[in-house]
Amino acid sequence: MYGYLVIMLKRHFILKKLGQFFLHTLFWCGVLLFYTYFFGFDSTNFNYVLSFSLFLMPITIVTTYILIYKIIPEYLLTKRYFRFGLYSLYTFIISAYLIVVSAFYGLIYLSDFQYANMAPISRNILFIGTAVYLIVIVVSAFKLLKLNLTHAEKTKKLETKILETQLKLKEQELNYLKMQIHPHFLFNTLNTMYGYALKKADETPEMILKLSNLLDYLLYQLDKPFVLLTDEINYIKDYIELEKMRFNNTLDIDFKCGHIQESAKIAPMLLLTFVENSFKHGRLKNGLLNVKINLSCKVETISFSIENTCSKSENTNKGIGLQNIKKRLDLLYKDNYQLKFNDAETIFKVNLELKQS
């Protein structure tokens, strides 16, 4: 199989080179016809015109190929302008010398030193140079345009690959952050259930049901980039109910939702992680953990705030959960969110404003 692929590649390469050779040959045959027509103007000596044109062909071909395959790609496109100008000048001087030689060739070898026998246009070095450099300039301009288009295409492909790579890296980073949420969230929830199971409490079945709903959200919704805000609210309520069972009479929570649009969407577990962080890092004050949550939705903005009682020694805004949230916000809502923390003496508060796309 490998040998067959090598043979096919070689065949493709050979066919490509043969195609290029055929096109170049066809082009230079056209140039020869142009020279014959141009220098044959007002002349009836076809043999002279053809021989003179054939003499000019190597000069034109070599000058053209030096420019398009050496000087332009290596010096002009790489912005080495001094060397480009220097080598272009060398090429011009040598080609101009050969053009002068071509005029003497027409006079000495083709006309036997008879000036009147020369084709009228071939008597003028300026006309000969114009014909040669016209071909050189046209071909060089075409080559330069082709190289610029090729460079632009490669640049575009490279930019596309870079963007695709950046997107994949962001997706991988986002998936990594989501994976960190799984053990963090499950550990706290299962701890609560474990305590109830030890006490053989009657609320245990209800806890299992609510945990089942949360696991469904965790396993099947977290992979989605966005979910309905109403789904996020429902799972926040289930989580709060689980925490109420864990805290018993030591929890005072106030969860207010207003003007929630049915079509509003949000990244999964974004708000839920703030709520979980409040219970994890919150501290009892006067025998109670106070948590206040406010959530409202406008046409283009989702406003969320949460505050909880805490201890000043507990640095609540440095937890892994909040650090992950900041990174997720940067990835999903870059320049479309405002996140503020207010770490007072005994109250920790978070304000989040999200712009809906």
DSSP H helices, the chain, are 2-39, 46-66, 81-108, 125-199, 204-220, 229-247, 270-281, 320-332
Same domain, 229 and 159: no
In the structure, what pLDDT confidence band is assigned to residue 244 with cuts at 50, 70 and 90?
A: confident
At residue 279 the predicted structure's pLDDT band, cuts being 50, 70 and 90, is confident
Is residue 193 within 8 A of residue 207, CB to CB? The reply is yes
Q: What is the mean pLDDT of residues 255-282?
A: 83
Is the same domain home to 119 and 223?
no
DSSP 73-125: IIIITTT-HHHHHHHHHHHHHHHHHHHHHHHHHHHHTTTTT-GGGS-TGGG-H
Mean pLDDT along residues 286-310: 88
d(CA 186, CA 179): 11
Q: Does the global pTM surpass 0.85? A: no
Q: Single out the residue in 163, 193, 219 at which a domain terminates.
A: 163
Determine the pLDDT at residue 66: 94
Report the distance separating Cα 241 and Cα 316, nearest Å: 23
Instruction: For residue 168, tell me if it sits in a domain.
Output: no
Bridge partners of 354? Answer: 302, 337
**pLDDT tens, residue by residue, 7-26:** 777 887 788 888 888 999 99
pLDDT tier, 167 (very low <50, low <70, confident <90, very high otherwise):
low
When pLDDT is averaged across residues 38-55 and rounded to a whole number, the result is 88
Over residues 249-268, the pLDDT tens digits come to 888 888 988 888 888 888 88
pLDDT over 70 percentage in the chain: 86
Final residue in a domain of this structure, among 117, 143, 163? 163
Residue 130: its pLDDT value, please?
Answer: 92
> How many domains are there within the chain?
2
Of 314, 300, 249, 239, nearest to 274 by C-alpha is: 239
Residue carrying structure tokens 């945990």: 211
> What's the N-to-C CA distance of the chain in angstroms?
51
- Does residue 348 lie within any of the structural domains? yes
356 has a pLDDT exceeding 90? no
pLDDT at 246 exceeding the cut of 80? no
Range of the domain at 349: 201-355
Q: What is the pLDDT of residue 139?
A: 93
pLDDT of residue 321: 62
Residue of higher predicted confidence among 113 and 185: 113
What does the angle CA 101 – CA 102 – CA 103 come to, to the nearest 5 degrees? 90
Question: Does 189 score more than 70 pLDDT?
Answer: no
Q: Could you tell me if 328 and 270 are in contact, meaning their C-beta atoms sit under 8 angstroms apart?
A: yes
346 plus 296 within the same structural domain: yes
Give the largest Cα separation in the chain, rounded: 125
Domain membership of residue 5 (yes or no) is: no
> Higher model confidence: residue 334 or residue 136?
136
Are 290 and 148 in a shared domain? Answer: no
